[in-house]
Structure 1
Amino acid sequence: MKVRSRRRFLGALLAAPLLPSCGRKRVSGRRVAAGATVLALGDSLTFGTGASPETSYPTVLARLTGWNVINAGVPGDTSAQALARLPALLQEHAPQLVLVGIGGNDFLRRISDATTRANIQRTCEQVLVSGAQVMLIAVPALSAAAVIAGSLSDHPLYEEIADSLRLPL
C-alpha cells in the first residue's frame, strides 16, 4: 500500500467510529481509548503480506492510536475460515473493536456472493453479540474495469451488510 493511500486509509479508520461515511447514513460508535484491545480480523492484507512487520496496517494503527491491535490476519483465509476462527479470538482477546476485512479470497476462488455475504454478516453479528464494536473494511469487486483501467470500487455486499447492521464501512 502506498504511503499516501495508507495514511488516507488509517485516517478514515480512526475517524469512522465517530463520523458518518460519505453518502451513508450516520452510524454512531463509542470512542476507543488508548490501550484498548482491537482485533484486526482478515486475510493477507491484514497480515501484511508484502510489507515488513512494522509496516503492516495493524502495527501502524497501533502506533498511531495507542491501541493494543491484535493482528488476526491469515493469508489465504476465506470468510468461512475467518468466521470459524472468530469465537476463539473473541474469547482470548475480549476486544473493544473488531476490524473485519475479509472476502477477497472468496472472490478470487469464485465463492458465491450469497455465501460470502452470509459469512461476513454472521462474523459481524457474532462480534456485536460479544459486546465489541465492528468496523467493516470493504474489498474491491473483481471486474474488467478494475483490471483494464485500474479503477477499483468496493464490492456492493459490504455496503449492504453495513447498512443492514448499521456499521461503519
Structure 2
Amino acid sequence: MKNTLVILISLSLFACEQSAPKVYQKISPDAVILAFGDSLTYGTGASGNTSYPSILSELSQHKVINAGIPGEVSQTGLRRLSKLLDQYQPELMILIHGGNDLLRRVPEQQLASNLSQMITTARERDIKVVMLGVPKPQLFLLSSAELYQQVAEEQHVPVDLETLPEILSDNGLKSDRIHPNSAGYRLMAENIYNLLVNTGALSSQ
C-alpha cells in the first residue's frame, strides 16, 4: 500500500486542476529555493535565462539557485550538497538527479541510496524537499525509473513522475535525446511550480 504522504503528480492532474493533499507549510516570502541536480537543472540545450530555475524564479517570485552541474553523477552530487545547503540556507530543495547514473548503468540501488542520503542531508537542516523522476534511456514509452517512486515512498517526499518522461517523449520539447529545449524547460518550470502549489509550499499567484 502506497504511503498517503507521497504525492504522485501527473500532467493530467494539472489539466484537471485537482489539488494534491497539502504536506508542507508555505515557505516564507524571502525564502531561497535550491534547484539541485545535473544538466537538466543547469539548462543544457537552452540559453541560461530559459533554464527551469530561471523560469521558476519568475513564476514563484523567489530566488532560485541553479545548482546544476552537467555530467554529474549522484555520488559526486551527494558530496557537494552539504556545502551548498549551508551556503544558501534554502527553505526548499528541488531534487532532479540521477540521469547520468542511468546513462552509465550505475546500479540502481546505489543511485537510490544516494538520492535518499541527499534528502536526509536536507531534512537534517529542516529543508523541504520535492523530487522529479528521471526516465531510463530508451527509444519509446518513456517513464521514470521505478526507483524514484520507491525513494519518494520511503522518504515521504512529493514526487512528479510524469513531467520529464512527457517532455522527453516530445521532439518539439527537447533539444536532443536527453535534454529539453527552451519550451521544454518552461513546461518543466510550470509543472514544478504547480507541484509546489499543490504541496502547500507556494501559494498560487
TM over 0.5: yes
Matched letter for residue 134 of structure 2: V
Secondary structure at the counterpart of residue 94 of structure 2: strand
Q: 1:105 to 1:75 in 2, by over 3 A?
A: same
Matched letter for residue 103 of structure 1: G
Task: Determine whether 1:35 maps to 2:25.
Answer: no
Aligned residues: 146
Q: 2:65 aligns with which of 61, 70, 75?
A: 70
Task: Determine whether 1:132 maps to 2:111.
Answer: no
Q: 1:99 aligns with which of 76, 94, 102?
A: 94
Deviations 1:114-159 (A, max 9, x none): 11010011001111111100001110123xxx40x3x211111111
Task: Determine whether 1:153 maps to 2:132.
Answer: no
Q: Do the aligned partners of 1:140 and 1:152 also contact (CA within 8 Å) in 2?
A: yes
Runs of 4+ in 1 over 6 A off after TM superposition: none
| Percent identity between the two aligned chains | 35
Q: Do the aligned partners of 2:134 and 2:145 also contact (CA within 8 Å) in 1?
A: yes
TM-score, reference length from structure 1: 0.80
Alpha-carbon separation, structure 2, partners of 1:124 and 1:76: 20
Other-structure match for 1:23: none
Specify which structure has the bigger relative contact order, considering alpha-carbon pairs within 8 angstroms and separated by 6 or more residues. Answer: 2
Please tell me the root mean square deviation across aligned C-alpha atoms, in Å.
2.0
List alignment gaps of at least 5 residues for structure 1. Answer: 1-7, 21-25
Q: Do the aligned partners of 1:27 and 1:167 also contact (CA within 8 Å) in 2?
A: no
Other-structure match for 1:163: 153
